Amino acid sequence: MNEDKERPAAKRVAEIDPLELSRRRPDWSASQPMTRVQKGVLLAVLAVLGAAFLWAPLPTARGLIALCTFFYVIMTLYKFVVIRASLSPSAILRFSAAQIAAQEPREWPVFSVLVPMYKEPETVKQMVAALAEMDYPADKKDVQILLEADDAVTLAAARALTLPPGFRVTEIPESFPRTKPKACNIGLHLAQGEYLVIYDAEDLPEKDQLKKAVMAFESSPANVVCVQSRLNYYNPRQNVLTRWFTAEYSAWFDLQLPGLAALGAVIPLGGTSNHFKTKVLQELMGWDAYNVTEDCDLGVRLGRAGYATRMLETTTWEEACSDVRFWIKQRTRWQKGYIQTWFVHMRNPAKLLRELGFVNFLHYHLLIGGVTFSVLVNPVFWAMALVWFVFRPEGVAQLFPGPVFAAGAACLFLGNFVFVYINLLGCCKRKNDSLMGWALLTPIYWMMMSYSGWRAFIQFFRDPFVWEKTQHGLVKKSQA
């Protein structure tokens, strides 16, 4: 209680501007999805392509296919480089139980924890219990459960609980846009800790994660302002979708993100369990409330501001979405967010290049733009490959002159295999051996990704700010 008094008095929620970033730095915000210049460039490119198709359809198609093939080759090599880098000792920060124990006795800094929730009363109890059990001094925890004012059911569920010391409910006033980052921005203003982390409602972080994060910050250079924990799922065997999802997450968080960290690349942060230095995050004005993957956008902004992100060997267990409909909605949001982020930071490419440096500029395009582009063009190439295998028409062969055919065949046979194999590797590393067989069927999962990719692409132009919320608690329903 005494320490509470020593902490700065919390601002009144109503006084806080959760849209500060979009007001003060509109050029950093997705509040305007595309600038006039971007729209003009896009229309000009489409017009040129249209004219080229009318003027010389075959050479244009050949040129586009050659460009796409080149892109696939680069992406395959890029994945290989990233996975190779993940072997580096600097890829991930590791702290053993003995190292943590050796820290005691010591004064741990106050750690703020933000838990944004919306209409998920069933997860409140589990979330509070998981956070209360975390191995961190209770008086140094500053946990805010961020609840929307109109979410009566979750508010009631939270109020019905006797919250442990250091826990509080922060009510987010109704306003547009109704997004997670907007709630987090209010939480950030009220945070009292030196460090801050975000957890989703259904998250089960490893108990010593906060201590590891503190040690990671203390042992890293000053420019490391964010530490990303690994995410994985506690319901991988619920159905085939959760199996694929877990395989994908294992590869992403256990191999690819560590690889990117080892390369010193811009890291698209995961939705939860990213630990920050609170002050730096406040200086950066928190999250963009208009971006539906505010975490990915923040990762890029950290990079542009000259800060670094590192990976931490600790896992937060989440619930994998087990319903295809909800999975598609969730993936649509993620992919739309990637498109938003790409356009936001490409408003001034020269400035972006200057701020990120050439190598990170390439990382940015391959990670944010490249991934989105590939899910959009994949179906076209799958269709062509299928037509070629089944009907062997001359037309398709004409589109692939000698070297392009060779590169395309290499991507088809080698590239796709590499992508599947990476998922297998992720499962093996996670000791999820029983998922490895399922990971072989990942191409079906890619088709679902492409479907959501196109959905995201269309939604980006029609409803850029719509936040398709992830449905949690499905695992409990299925168990019930």
Partner 1 sequence: MDQERKTYRLVRLLTGAVTPVVLAAALLAFARLHDVAWEPGAQVAGLCRELLAGTTEGRQALFGSCWVAPLPVLVYLPFAWLLPEPAAGWAAFFSAWLFVFWTVREAVKATGQSGWRILFAQVAVAAMMAVSGQPQALQIATALTAGLMLLAAASLADWAAYRRLRDVVATGASGAFLMLCGFPVFGPAGLAVLLVPLAACGHRETRSRFQAWLLLGGLPLVYAVGVWLLLNRLILGDAFFFLRSLPSLVPALLPFLGALLLPGLLVLPALAVTWFCDARSETPGAGPVAASALLVSFPLVLIATVEVLARFGVDWNRMTLYVCALAVLMIALARLRQPVYRLALSLALFVWLSTLWLGGGAAAPSPAADSGQLCREVESYVNARTPYGRVFVLGYAGLDLLRGYAGERLEPNMDLHVGALRRAYKGQDLYLLVPRPEGPARAESVFWKHPDVYELGGDRLLYAAAFGTWRLFQVVSAPTQEQLDEWKKAR
Stretch that binds partner 1, among 68-76, 224-232, 346-354, 401-409 (CB under 8 A): 401-409
81 binds partner 1 (CB under 8 A): no
The length of the chain in residues reads: 480
CA distance 467 to 130: 27
DSSP H or E stretch at residue 262: helix 257-262
CB-nearer residue toward partner 1: 358 or 389: 389
- Shortest distance in whole angstroms from residue 53 CB to partner 1: 24
x-marked contacts with partner 1 along 316-355 as a string, rule CB under 8 A? ----------------------------------------
Q: Is 336 helix (H, G, I), strand (E, B) or coil?
A: helix
- Shortest distance in whole angstroms from residue 65 CB to partner 1: 15
CA distance 200 to 127: 9
- Shortest distance in whole angstroms from residue 249 CB to partner 1: 18
Distance of CA 473 to the CA centre of its chain: 20
The residue behind tokens 């800060």 is 307
CA distance 296 to 280: 17
451 binds partner 1 (CB under 8 A): no
Stretch that binds partner 1, among 45-53, 116-124, 214-222, 423-431 (CB under 8 A): 423-431
CB-nearer residue toward partner 1: 216 or 425: 425
- Joined tokens for residue 152: 């009566």
391 binds partner 1 (CB under 8 A): no
- Joined tokens for residue 187: 């939480």
CB-nearer residue toward partner 1: 161 or 412: 412
Report the residue from 78, 317, 405, 457 that binds partner 1 according to the rule CB under 8 A: 405
CB-nearer residue toward partner 1: 167 or 252: 252
Report the residue from 1, 433, 462, 480 that binds partner 1 according to the rule CB under 8 A: 433
Number of residues near partner 1 (by CB under 8 A): 20
94 binds partner 1 (CB under 8 A): no
Q: At what angle do helices 349-356 and 294-304 cross, to 10 degrees?
A: 70
Report the residue from 306, 349, 403, 443 that binds partner 1 according to the rule CB under 8 A: 403
Report the residue from 14, 389, 391, 394 that binds partner 1 according to the rule CB under 8 A: 389
CA distance 93 to 102: 17
From residue 325, alpha-carbon distances to 104, 292, 332, 448 in Å are 48, 18, 11, 11
Report the residue from 8, 89, 221, 402 that binds partner 1 according to the rule CB under 8 A: 402
From residue 34, alpha-carbon distances to 52, 76, 234, 367 in Å are 25, 29, 38, 20
50 binds partner 1 (CB under 8 A): no
The residue behind tokens 């950066």 is 284
CB-nearer residue toward partner 1: 351 or 429: 429
- Joined tokens for residue 294: 């505010």
CA distance 112 to 187: 9
Strands 224-233 and 274-277, sheet pairing: antiparallel
Stretch that binds partner 1, among 42-50, 107-115, 268-276, 419-427 (CB under 8 A): 419-427
Contact of 289 with 181, CB cutoff 8 Å: yes
Report the residue from 431, 462, 479, 480 that binds partner 1 according to the rule CB under 8 A: 431
- Shortest distance in whole angstroms from residue 189 CB to partner 1: 43
CA distance 219 to 222: 9
Cβ atoms within 10 Å of 385's Cβ, excluding its own: 15
- Shortest distance in whole angstroms from residue 388 CB to partner 1: 9
CA distance 188 to 195: 10
Query: Computed over its alpha carbons, how large is the radius of gyration of the chain?
Result: 23
Report the residue from 399, 436, 447, 466 that binds partner 1 according to the rule CB under 8 A: 436
Distance in Å from the first CA to the final CA of the chain: 41
HSE (side-chain half, CA atoms, 13 Å) at 395: 7
87 binds partner 1 (CB under 8 A): yes
Contact of 473 with 124, CB cutoff 8 Å: no
CB-nearer residue toward partner 1: 66 or 132: 66
413 binds partner 1 (CB under 8 A): yes
- Shortest distance in whole angstroms from residue 407 CB to partner 1: 9
Stretch that binds partner 1, among 105-113, 220-228, 340-348, 413-421 (CB under 8 A): 413-421
437 binds partner 1 (CB under 8 A): yes
394 binds partner 1 (CB under 8 A): no
89 binds partner 1 (CB under 8 A): no
CB-nearer residue toward partner 1: 128 or 424: 424
Cβ atoms within 10 Å of 411's Cβ, excluding its own: 20
Residues in touch with partner 1 (CB under 8 A) = 87, 389, 401-403, 405-406, 410, 413, 417, 421, 424-425, 428-429, 431, 433, 436-437, 440
